[in-house]
Each structure stands twice: as structure tokens, then as C-alpha cells.
Amino acid sequence: NAGVTQTPKFQVLKTGQSMTLQCAQDMNHNSMYWYRQDPGMGLRLIYYSASEGTTDKGEVPNGYNVSRLNKREFSLRLESAAPSQTSVYFCASSAASGGISYEQYFGPGTRLTVT
Amino acid sequence: DAKTTQPPSMDCAEGRAANLPCNHSTISGNEYVYWYRQIHSQGPQYIIHGLKNNETNEMASLIITEDRKSSTLILPHATLRDTAVYYCIVREKGAQKLVFGQGTRLTINP
């Protein structure tokens, strides 16, 4: 049981390049999330998916798109990377039933640098 | 979601109990108190949560005051591996997002 896995672990992009961060969970969770963490700061929610087939914006969605490919996988895409998107990106998942979501389990993070 | 206030840093000796306070004076009746921790460079780890009763699991105990305006996370026998940033978060159980503040940086000293 791997929990939440993320690829890649590290990435360096030039301004304007695009890339997709991948996330998968094997806990059969309904809900999945993408957060970013800037140095010395707490995590901020970018997008989330309450269930397969749905996605919603979080606090800081600008410059990102997401895809809930299936129940296991939730990807985050940067179409045109900017230096302000240099951050550590965490994916998380949680069980949910009857409109209630429970504690979240986090992946190891992707460290992204945009030059 | 109600805001929380935590001390920015704390120290504790290895083997002693670490008591981490959190103030959440504006908490509403349907909001839970959650605790997570983040060990350097890793993803946050869920520790425990509660509504109004004290809770205990294999990692920690959570003591919530009767008026629910504050709580304390207790690590009963702290080890060096408990050195981390600890986040106290208040949210409705059905709410999707977790709002992370600055947390408390706990250092366990040998």
C-alpha cells in the first residue's frame, strides 16, 4: 500500500514551458487535492476534486489546470510556467461519504523551480 | 473556517511530554480541531482530530477545553523524530480544504 505517490520529485522549468505533475493514490479515496507550499509558509489549496469527474478551484487556482483522470489519479498542469510558481507541490487524498470528507493523506511533494 | 493561534516555536527534551497549545476562540459548534505535522521537506502527516471530547490515538492525545476555545496536543514521550512543524487547523468536517497557518516549530533536544 503506497498511499499517495507523486511524480516527478524534482523539476526545473524555464519561464513559459509547460508540464504536468502526476499524483496517484491506492486507498480508494474519493477526494483528491493539490496544494502548494512556498518557503516558510503553510500550504495553500490550488484545486480539489471531491469525486471522480468533478473539480473545483481552491484559494490559488490561477495559472493551473487539473484533470481527474479516474478515481486513482489527479494531475496538475502548468500551461506556461512563471517564476512565481516556484514552490513545492503536494497532492493529497481523503475518504468521503455522505458529503463528509475526512482526514487528508499527503504525498511526498514535487519541488518545482521556474527560472 | 475559524482562525487558530499557535506559538511559533517550542523546545522539549527527548523522553518528556511535549504539550503544544492552540487557541481557536472563534470556533463554531460544527467545527472540528485537526492536528497535522510536517517533518522537514515531507508532506504533512495527519495526527488526530476532535470535536469536544478528549481524544487519544497511537500518536498523540488531544485535550479540548470545555468552552472549545483552545486545545492542547500532547506527545507523551517525545523522540528526536518528533521534531517537526505542527499545525492546528479548525474546519467543518465536510469542508474540503485545510487552511494551514504558520504552525509551531517543535524541536526535540537530546
| A26: its cell numbers | 491506492
Question: What's the CA gap between B61 and B22, in Å, rounded?
Answer: 14
Instruction: State the average pLDDT over residues B94-100.
Output: 81
- Find the CB nearest A50 among B49, B96, B99: B96
For residue A16, is pLDDT > 80?
Answer: yes
For chain B positions 66-85, those within 8 Å of chain A (CB to CB) are none
Q: For residue A33, list chain B residues with Cβ-Cβ distance below 8 A.
A: 96-97
Distance from CA of A22 to the nearest CA of B (A): 15
**CA-nearest residue of chain B to A39?**
B41
DSSP state letters, A61-89 = -TTEEEEE-SSSBEEEEESS--GGG-EEE
Mean pLDDT within A61-67: 97
Mean confidence (pLDDT) of chain B: 93
The residue assigned the cell 479548525 is: B90
Contact B1, B95 (CB under 8 A): yes
User: Are A50 and B98 a contacting pair at CB < 8 A?
Assistant: no
Helix, strand, coil share of chain B (percent; to 5):
5, 50, 50
Amino acid identity, position B88: C
The pLDDT of residue A1: 67
Which pLDDT value is given to residue B1? 59
The pLDDT-based confidence of A40 (bands split at 50, 70, 90) is confident
The 10s digit of each residue's pLDDT in B50-92 is 999 899 999 999 999 999 999 999 999 999 999 999 999 998 8
